[in-house]
Amino acid sequence: MTIDLASIEMDPPLRAQVLVEALPYIRNFRGKRIVIKLGGSAMIQESLKKNFAEDIALLTFIGVKPIIVHGGGPQIGELLKKLGIESRFVKGLRVTDEETMDVVEMVLVAKVNKDVVSMINNLGGNAVGLSGRDGRLIKAKKAQPARLADKDEDLGLVGEVERINPELIAALESHGFVPVIAPVGAGPQEKPYNINADTAAGALSAALGAEKFVLLTDVPGVLDLEKNLISSLSEDEAEEFIRNGVASGGMIPKIRCCLSALRGGVPKAHIIDGRVPHALLLELLTDQGIGTEIVRDNPPGM
């Protein structure tokens, strides 16, 4: 049954139906890990931040194991501007020198991370914040230079995920904590590296054997050429969308990030609109969902 969500408030029986519809999903996801990349309006707009925290608290109470990786690009850019430090990007990646890295770590670890943890705990959750450097959770290596025009551009302290240490996450989960992770990795000699949050979240979902990988964005999902939402794609279909130009701009790296998670063993990846109140619950616990799911072509047992 497909529920008209707009009618729920006016129709008490539909409220009960929502709970009934959620039951099989609650049963399936209980005890499973779901890695969520938090970004966009859902981590800036106060009402949406509250909705997200409520969603995480509820998922925890029903036995799901959420793991959150957050971004913070706008906040980093704002502080750099106040400090008179120029922001420069190459192919969407922030060129990160030593001075910029100090600001990145300050904003992501000391500010954004603690804000996310506090808002979840304030609503009854049990979150704990950490960066990828803690316990060598994310072992990083220097990203390859980006090809720009006729030269290679050194990105500085921009990192790629080399290895994930799942033991730290398991230890936190065993004590009932929700990990909230800032995407700063530990490089050689423990040097900090700035890692794209989408990439870090995708790598974590694969390494941790997550049931799902969810990207919260500021777009409805993957759209076709007529700008209609595509509710479900296979790996091959998603690749074709990139090749034929249906997916373009910032959607391409998001799809590729999802495909990387799927190839690492995650059964499903989701791109959803974090501007929709309680987007996470609507995508995970209803038949209709609200975004785009990308599904492995050859899941286990096939």
Using CA of residue 89, residue 39, residue 274, residue 66, what is the dihedral sign? positive
In three-state secondary structure terms, 293 is strand
Among residues of the chain, what percentage have pLDDT more than 70? 92
147-151, 168-172, 244-248 — which one is most confidently predicted on average?
168-172
Among residues of the chain, what percentage have pLDDT more than 90? 73
Q: What is the pLDDT of residues 139-168, one digit of tens each?
A: 999 998 876 656 788 999 999 999 999 999
pLDDT of residue 12: 58
Q: What is the mean pLDDT of the chain?
A: 90
- Beta strand 146-148 with 151-153 is antiparallel
Residues 78/67/217/202 CA torsion (nearest 10 deg): 100
Integer Cα distance of 284 and 279 in angstroms: 9
pLDDT at position 10 over 60: no
pLDDT at position 174 over 90: yes
The per-residue DSSP string of 102-142 comes to: HHHHIIIIIIIHHHHHHHHHHTT--EEEEETTGGG-EEEEE
Domains in the chain, please, with CATH? 33-295 (3.40.1160.10)
Neighbours of 135 (CB within 10 A): 15
Compare 297 and 62 and report the one with higher pLDDT: 62
Q: pTM for this structure?
A: 0.90
What letter does residue 147 receive in the DSSP assignment? E
pLDDT of residue 302: 44
